[in-house]
Amino acid sequence: MPYVDGFLLPVAKNKVQAYRRMARMAGRVWRKYGALEFRECVGDDLNTKMGPSFKKAVKAKPNETVFFSWIVFKSKTHRNRVNARVMKDPKIAKMMASDMPMDPKRMYYGGFKFAVDL
């Protein structure tokens, strides 16, 4: 059954383009090592009246937006193999050592099993 790594993170509005460049590079690396999908979505309609908002969850400041992102794998085992390879890739190591265009301390992350797949 497919497995998904999900992310929710705030990004300063003036750093969205830098984040997108970083995400495109990272996505290419994840796909190179076998990820089935790599998606990055930027907030568009975040002032909802239904439940707590994503902005509230990540404590987004007025000058920030929210990215909702996910990576799809064949299985949890496949995810673990792919992520181990990704973390050894020199492009990712360089990215992790650089000044990130987002606040990793406010990034939410988790691994998910499919519950419904239509």
Q: In this predicted model, what pLDDT tens digit does every residue of 57-77 receive, in sequence order? A: 999 999 999 999 999 999 999
Residues 6+ apart with CB under 8 A from 108: 7, 8, 9, 57, 58
Cα 54 from Cα 101, distance rounded (Å): 19
The whole model's pTM is what?
0.92
pLDDT of residue 73: 98
CATH number belonging to the domain at 3-112, selected among 3.30.70.100, 3.40.1410.10, 2.40.160.60, 1.10.10.10: 3.30.70.100
Per residue in 15-43, pLDDT (tens digit) is: 999 999 999 999 999 999 999 999 999 99
Domain ranges of the chain: 3-112
Give the Cα separation of 102 and 106 in Å (integer): 9
